[in-house]
Structure 1
Amino acid sequence: MAIQGLGPVGGFGSGTAALERALVTAASCPHLTPVPSFSADTAGLEAFVERKTLRRMDHFSRMAMLGAFLALEDAGRLTAGRERLGLVLASGYGAARTTFAFLDSSMDHGDVCASPTSFSTSVHNAAAANIAIVLDLHGPTITVSQFELSVPSALLTAGQWLTAGRVDAVLFGSVDEFCPVIEYGLQRLHADQNPPPPQSSPGGTVPPGEGAVFFLLTRVGEESRYGVITDIRLGTVANGEPRIATDAVVVVNDQRGAMDADTTAPVPAPAPPRAVSYTPVYGRLPVGPAFDMAIAALACRHGLTAATRNHAEPAAHPIPPPSHLLNAPSITCLVLGRDNTFGLITSSGRG
């Protein structure tokens, strides 16, 4: 699949320029809330959508909507026809904050007086539905939720649609929001764990994050602005899997232990030759691999000097990467999940 447009939204800001700035300067920082987190600002959405349309739209849908518009704008297709444009959305938790708000209203006021607005926007497909309505999409729409493997799983669907000719392009996106209730539960889960989980898991050094990343994808035959996605795999860490090219840069998103207290899954063997982590830029969240995809796409386009750190180091703060990161023939985004599972997305600028 060829990447034509990119729309990132997160604690670093919104748009590719904001993401690049955070990568170069490591300027992304947690906001002071009861639980420090990388919070996303959706104020920029009003440049694309009227306020009256946004009035009943929750934060979850607004992040996704902003990411979708930014990707279309970046690709120069804001006004292009959308008759054969599909929409695939990945989310690990869905509209968690809105879901708990609905449950609170039900417990406080009873079923009869529970908030109908919170209920309608709490379903996982609400963000995709809002995007499809506002953009007037006529192609297929689906939301995929598989916790930490949501991004590679949903990306497989996008690729199948393009291969089968169901659509001419796919607006592929991912979104997750920070939810204090979930964060509290995860912290309690790991309260007595020693040693703590990996750096991208609760108890590690990286605060939780939220945000959305969207990509406009077309078939490989078309000229690509951000490189091409050459491989997508899901599997179990065993018998030498996942197999990764020895000359590839590997962007690791380690989510082992994010959903349970068992973090004993072995690190893939053979170990990635050049493994880095960008989680300190956007925070930890189930759809973090999509942010890694966006960073890989930027690197495939024109290279960048990104703030990162060696995956094996326990340092809490990012450090500049080795220079060979910029000249790698391919970049593999690897997510490690619970029960020894993994997802792998490889992209290259040589499409």
Structure 2
Amino acid sequence: MIKPIYVHGSGSISIQPTFEPGYCFDSILSFAQNPVPAYEPDYKALIPAMQLRRMNKSMRMAIFASRLALQQADRTAVDAIITGSGLGCLKDSERFVEALLAEEGQSLNPTPFIQSTHNMAAAAIALVLKCKGYNMTYVNNANSFESALLDGMVYLTEHPNDTMLLGGVDEAGERTTQFWDIAGYLKREVPTIPTPLEGAATPGEIAAEGATFFVVSGQPGARTYGKVTAVETSLETDDTVVLLSRFLQKNGLDADAIDAVFMGFNGDSRYDGIYRNLGHSLFPATLQLGFKHLLGEYDTVVASALAIALQLLNEQRIPSSLRLNDVEPKELKRILIYTQRRGKNHGLILVEQ
């Protein structure tokens, strides 16, 4: 039986200043563009300048976020690294393909190709930390982080004394977002962060990027911030109410046992109705929270939602910018995170104190 995993530290880079100490969405950065680049820290504070010169954006974000998580957990090393990434080091992938076309396959610089693979971020973290243990990257579209989380739970069930870094990272590429725009994925009418929801929603999403990492283990400790007790994914489903009801039932819970539910409202009028239906059907008396309207949409943004949920469980304070309704829970002990992207890749994460 898969056991819960305990989170001892987290670090996050997103389009909001989530890497700043104590930040909890009381002040929000606004944007009027699509895609939205990450709000980046001074990487030199945690990464030597000579190393930075050789890193692409995904690697920088992943290493910085993982170092923040290690600092918070008061650790310097881990036994394993598991990462989720929907698109990998996208800009280097685009750069290599463009060079391939321009040079007709001749005299190519191999560096963008070497650094374009999805597992490059996890490999870079391993090199920096000198971690020679288990290293895995999951590439399952918008379920990439949940897949990494599931593998982490399996690994720590089998290795209960180990500690690992577990996270998700995705960057926005210029060419790819142009293709998404042509395909009709992106919002064209007033693409703003915070993104209007409910009646003001319009078709399309706002693409973004970020990296969030956690130090986790199979045992609680002095610096434990919370635990992940269950994770589930589904590529497609005919009825999300049934999906969530079965998930809760499998874990011995009902809707009333959930103190708050994070849902991935992103302002896309074509798919936000999925969340709205769940809110009305299962969670009308439960605190409902959002995160994509502030962080944008990318394949592993749910990792940021997990970091926020852990922060709320510890601080017992709910910023108004995250609220989707006015329900006041007596106490935050158990939070459910549910997200999907474009009607597919449904993911569920159960987080507890």
**TM-score interval (norm. to shorter):** 0.7 to 0.9
CA deviations over 1:116-162 (Å, ceiling 9, x no partner): 11111001111111110011002100111111111111100011110
Amino acid at match of 1:168: D
Q: How many Å separate the matches in 2 of 1:280 and 1:55? A: 33
TM superposition shift of 1:299:
0.7
Which runs of no fewer than 5 residues in structure 1 stay unpaired? 312-320
State the match for 2:295 in structure 1: 282
Shift of 1:93: 1.1
For 2:48, the equivalent position in structure 1 comes to 50
Measure, in 1, the Cα distance between the counterparts of 2:173 and 2:205: 16
C-alpha deviations, 1:203-248, integer Å up to 9, x for none?
6586322110010001144445311111111233537111243242
User: Is the 2:16–2:39 contact (alpha carbons within 8 Å) kept by the matching residues of 1?
Assistant: yes
For the residue of structure 2 that corresponds to 1:6, the secondary structure is strand
- Aligned residue for 1:168? 162
Identical columns (%): 21
How big is the shift at 1:327?
2.1
Q: Is the 8 A contact 1:12 1:19 kept in 2?
A: no
User: Judging changes above 3 Å, is the alpha-carbon distance between structure 1 residues 76 and 193 closer, same or farther for their aligned structure 2 residues?
Assistant: closer
Q: Is contact 2:185-2:204 (8 Å) kept?
A: no
* Contact persistence 1:12–1:18 (CA under 8 A): no
Which of 131, 136, 139 aligns to 2:133? It is: 139
Post-superposition offset of 1:107: 1.0
Partner SS state of residue 339, structure 2:
strand
Match of 2:251 in 1: none
**What SS class does the counterpart of residue 58 from structure 2 fall into?**
helix
- 1:70-109 to 2 correspondences below 5 Å: 70-78=68-76, 81-82=77-78, 85-109=79-103
Which of 248, 256, 262 is equivalent to 1:246?
Answer: 256
What residue in structure 2 maps to residue 4 of structure 1?
8
Which of 323, 346, 350 does residue 346 from structure 1 map onto?
Answer: 350
Residues 1:306 and 2:304 are matched in the alignment: no
Provide the alpha-carbon RMSD of the alignment. 3.3
CA contact 2:187–2:206 (8 Å) conserved in 1: no
Look up the equivalent residue of 1:5 and give its one-letter code.
Answer: G
- Measure how far apart 1:302 and its partner are: 1.6
SS, match of residue 230 in structure 2: strand
Residue 63 (structure 1) shift:
0.6
Q: What do the CA deviations read for 1:181-215 (whole angstroms, capped 9, x no partner)?
A: 2222222222799999x979x96586322110010
Match of 1:17 in 2: 21
| Structure 2 gap ranges (5+) | 249-254
Change (3 A) 1:14 1:328: closer
Secondary structure of 1:151 counterpart? helix
- 1:272 is the counterpart of 2:283: yes
Question: 2:161 touches 2:218 (CA, 8 Å); kept in 1?
Answer: no
**Cα displacement (A) at 1:50:** 1.6
Partner of 2:306 in structure 1? 293
Equivalences for 1:213-232 in 2 at 5 Å?
A: 213-232=212-231
Give the C-alpha shift of residue 53 in structure 1: 1.6
Do the aligned residues in 2 keep the contact of 1:88 with 1:171 (CA within 8 Å)? yes
Once the 2 structures are TM-superposed, how far is the Cα of residue 178 of structure 1 from its aligned partner? 1.5
Assess if the C-alpha contact under 8 Å between 1:240 and 1:270 holds in 2.
no
Asked if 1 retains the 8 angstrom alpha-carbon contact of 2:265 and 2:291, the reply is: no
Q: For the residues of structure 2 that align with 1:184 and 1:325, how far apart are their CA atoms?
A: 42
- Tell me the secondary structure at the aligned position of residue 304 of structure 1: coil
Aligned mates of 2:141, 2:171 — CA distance in 1: 13
**Contact 1:91–1:150 (CA under 8 A) maintained in structure 2:** yes
Which shifted more, 9-18 or 141-150? 9-18
2:10 partner letter: L
Structure 2 length-normalised TM: 0.81
- Give 3-state SS (helix, strand or coil) of 1:41's partner: coil
With structure 1 as the length reference, what TM-score do the two structures score? 0.82
Distance of 1:309 and 1:14 partners within structure 2: 14
The alpha-carbon distance between structure 1 residues 188 and 167, as it changes in their structure 2 partners (threshold 3 A), is farther
Q: Relative to structure 1, is the Cα distance of residues 327 and 285 closer, same or farther in structure 2, using a 3 angstrom cutoff?
A: same
Shift in alpha-carbon separation, 1:295–1:272, aligned structure 2, 3 A: same
Kindly provide the amino acid, as one letter, of the partner of residue 326 in structure 2: P
